[in-house]
């Protein structure tokens, strides 16, 4: 690494880990996506901090605007810290017509997030970082509408009561 580059690099935690991940993917097709995916996986709060994106840009020579565009385009990447548990509610047409907005608002209420809070956001995390509520455009399971996902387990024909019960159980588990 040149001195000029070393001086320009933003301070990031786990610099060795990031260097190793970048080194492993060097020159491979789709390297940027793989790098970002592995970095997010390795992050304790499952997200890509801005300093990390800047670091990746400088180390790989990929323009910062491109790194940021990729990280913000794919729903798989998070630009904010995520909660321990994730509740994803589908807001596609089939799920919307079967009441997914009410499911979303009910879970927000249950977790102490006001109805208007994050109304224009697709991802919202509780202040204690126990839960992230996300909206998804479509899970590809429209016949099961309304669909929700709790910690990566898909639930179909979700009722408000069933969803509240499951979230409550996760909340109890998280409090242990
Ligand atoms: S619209 Fe909800 S799964 Fe397709």
Domain boundary residue among 73, 103, 135? 73
**140 and 97 in one domain?**
yes
* Best of 135, 142, 149, 156 for a ligand 1 pocket test (most atoms within 8 Å of beta carbon): 142
The reply to whether 97 and 67 lie within a common domain is: no
Nearest by Cα to 163 from 116, 125, 107:
107
φ, ψ of residue 106 to 5 degrees: the values are -65, -40
Pick from 17, 52, 73: which residue ends a domain? 73
pLDDT (tens digit per residue) in 26-84: 878 789 999 999 999 999 888 999 999 999 999 999 999 999 999 998 878 999 899 99
Q: How many domains does the chain have?
A: 2
Q: What pLDDT is recorded for position 4?
A: 47
Tell me if 34 CB under 6 Å of ligand 1: no
Task: Classify 118 in phi/psi space as left (phi over 0), alpha (psi -120 to 50) or beta.
Answer: left
Rounded Cα gap, residues 106 and 51, in angstroms: 35
Same domain? For 27 and 55 the reply is yes
Together in a domain, 89 and 162: yes
Instruction: Give the atom of ligand 1 at the shortest distance from the alpha carbon of 138.
Output: 4
Do residues 48 and 109 both lie within one domain? no
Same domain for 90 and 166?
Answer: yes
The dihedral built from the CA positions of residue 33, 37, 38 and 39, taken in this order, carries a sign that is positive
- Is the same domain home to 63 and 92? no
pLDDT single digits (tens) 95-124: 999 999 999 999 999 999 875 665 556 788
For residue 65, give both structure tokens.
């605007």
20's CB contacts (< 8 A; 6+ apart) are none
Tell me: do 102 and 150 sit in the same domain: yes
- Interval between CA 143 and ligand 1 midpoint (Å): 8
Look at residue 78 and tell me if it is in a domain. Answer: no
| Cβ atoms of residues 163 and 155 within 8 Å | yes
- Note the Cα 126 to chain centre separation in Å: 13
67 is a domain residue: yes
Q: In the prediction, which pLDDT does 171 show?
A: 85
Q: Last residue of a domain, which of 51, 73, 95?
A: 73
Distance in angstroms (rounded) separating the CA atoms of residues 107 and 151: 14
What is the domain-level CATH number for residue 142?
A: 3.40.30.10
Is the domain of 65 the same as that of 108? no
Residue 126 and residue 59 share a domain: no
Query: Cβ distance 65 to 112 under 8 Å?
Result: no
Residue matched to tokens 């800047």: 54
Q: For 127-173, how does the pLDDT look when each residue is reduced to its tens digit (9 = 90+)?
A: 999 999 999 999 999 999 999 999 989 999 999 999 999 999 998 87
Residue 80 within a domain: no
Residues 60 and 123 grouped into a single domain? no
Domain span at 95: 85-175
Task: Show the tokens assigned to 121.
Answer: 């956001």
Residue 93 lies in a domain: yes
Q: How far is CA 172 from the centre of its chain?
A: 22
Instruction: Output the average pLDDT for the chain.
Output: 87
Flag whether pLDDT at 11 surpasses 90. Answer: no
**CB under 8 Å to 147, separation ≥6 — which residues?**
90, 95, 100, 139, 141, 154, 155, 156, 158
Residues 57 and 117 in one domain: no
């Amino acid at each position: 690494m040149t001195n000029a580059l070393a001086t320009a690099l933003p301070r990031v935690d786990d610099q060795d880990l990031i260097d190793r991940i970048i080194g492993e993917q060097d020159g491979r097709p789709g390297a940027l996506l793989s790098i970002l995916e592995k970095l997010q996986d390795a992050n304790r709060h499952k997200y890509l901090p801005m300093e990390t994106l800047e670091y990746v840009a400088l180390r790989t020579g990929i323009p910062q605007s491109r790194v940021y565009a990729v990280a913000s385009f794919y729903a798989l990447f998070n630009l904010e810290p995520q909660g321990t548990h994730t509740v994803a509610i589908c807001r596609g047409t089939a799920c919307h017509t079967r009441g997914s907005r009410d499911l979303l608002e009910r879970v927000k209420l249950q977790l102490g997030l006001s109805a208007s809070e994050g109304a224009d956001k697709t991802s919202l995390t509780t202040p204690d970082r126990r839960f992230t509520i996300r909206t998804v455009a479509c899970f590809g399971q429209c016949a099961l509408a309304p669909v929700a996902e709790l910690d990566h387990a898909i639930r179909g024909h979700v009722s408000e009561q069933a969803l509240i019960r499951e979230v409550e159980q996760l909340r109890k588990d998280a409090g242990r």
